[in-house]
Structure 1
Amino acid sequence: MNIDVTPRTTRRRTLVAGLVGGAVLALAVPTMASAHVGVSPDELVAGDHGTLTFSFSHGCEDSPTTALRITMPEGLASVAPTIDADWTIDVERGDDGLVSAVTYTALTPVPNGLRGAVTLGIGLDDSTPDTLVFPVVQTCVTGSTEWTQVAEDGEDPHSLDAPAPVVSVVEGSAAHGGHEDADADADAADAAAAAADQGQNALGTAFGAGGLVAGVAALVVAILAYRRRV
């Protein structure tokens, strides 16, 4: 008797194809999402100083990266590029003497798929805006990419093809609120632990005292029983 297994085979092939396709998509989505020049941290406290790290893990298509040119936004009080043995640094200044752009050139081109990073310190003051945009031009052995797009109001930055790195400037209370809450939680946890230790100590003392009383009572009973036998 012949049994037609075509429907089952078809379903199995469809399932396998779906799983493979899903796996490929799962691997591809993070790769696409990370295909940009990012900045960390992406939030600084108003009037403070901070160190920004600009990183990437891709070239222009598959071409190795040779340089990053980062344009400074207006409103920065100071800019100090970090010396790095893997990069040479060229600083451009405006008519006001402030740093307007910094170009990092790799001594050895960074291959596609390997992470490269450069850092610089910046100072903020009262004139610093709430949002700092750092346009970056990534130059490669072949070609270049301009990471200069900025999301409009209501637009998802992740939908941009070549978003510029953006840093938000927040008030000190907003930035440190989470730390204060964490400190308060830690203090509460320490207090609870201390109370638990005290409770355990008190319980141990109570048990010790109870044992002593029970021992004395047993001794008295034994003495009385001995006297009765005598």
Structure 2
Amino acid sequence: MYRPLIVAAVAAIVAGPAHAHVSFENAQAAVGTTYKAVLRIPHGCDGKATDEVRVRIPEGVIAVKPMPKAGWTIEKTVTGYKAEYDLHGKKVAEGVTELSWSGGSVADDEYDDEFVFRATLDAGLPAGETIYFPVIQVCGTDRAEWTQAPAEGQTAHDLERPAPGLELLHGEHAGH
């Protein structure tokens, strides 16, 4: 009689920490396609409200366009890429490499908030691997740096503040 309750409680405890990290709603996407990134911020910083979110865009993630968010100001940092990419037949050598949403406020105890952007995953990205998007969460004078990427032999679950990862899949229509 108590066994199902114990199993459910253990499952909830094990699953709980995964929801405490900054993550993508959909953490898989095919290379050579457009990806809608929904970045979830599950809580503030030690009881303080989140008032800024910054995300670094990894190399090979191009044509980044953030979704406006009511009450927040978006800032885009545009710099040169390390390589030149083909985007619908046009060569691109620079683009958005960091996004910032600021000026709003999400209380620590409010529902997960979402910050959304769209990007193209270059067909040359390594399918079968995971790329990481370092995130800085600012809460007044405090900040949480979700910037750790697993070393060989580690997983994101081994890290205290893992960066959100995106598993790259083989694209059926990669390059189109």
Give 1:129 shift: 3.4
CA contact (8 A) 2:51 2:139 kept: yes
Distance 1:33 1:126 in 2: 30
Bigger relative contact order, structure 1 or 2 (CA pairs below 8 A, ≥6 apart): 2
Residue identity opposite 1:80 in structure 2: K
Higher share in strand: 2
CA contact (8 A) 1:42 1:167 kept: yes
Q: Which residue of 2 aligns with 1:120?
A: 117
Q: Which residue of 2 aligns with 1:140?
A: 139
Residue identity opposite 1:102 in structure 2: L
Q: Equivalent residue of 1:146, what SS?
A: strand
Q: Equivalent residue of 1:85, what SS?
A: coil
Structure 2 gap ranges (5+) = 81-92
Alignment match of 2:94 (pick from 97, 104, 108)? 97
Map 1:1-230 onto structure 2 (within 5 A).
30-95=15-80, 96-107=93-104, 109-114=105-110, 115-130=112-127, 131-172=130-171
CA contact (8 A) 2:29 2:168 kept: yes
- Cα 1:128–1:27, aligned 2, differ >3 Å: closer, same or farther? closer
Structure 1 gap ranges (5+) = 1-18, 174-230
- Cα 1:126–1:141, aligned 2, differ >3 Å: closer, same or farther? same
CA contact (8 A) 1:63 1:142 kept: no
Q: Identity percentage over the alignment?
A: 31
CA contact (8 A) 1:75 1:129 kept: no
Higher share in helix: 1
Count of aligned positions? 151
CA shift digits 1:146-204 (9 cap, x unpaired): 1011112221211210000010111135xxxxxxxxxxxxxxxxxxxxxxxxxxxxxxx
Residue identity opposite 1:39 in structure 2: F
- The structure number with the bigger radius of gyration is 1
What's the C-alpha RMSD, in Å, of the aligned pairs? 2.2
How does the TM-score come out when normalised to structure 2?
0.77
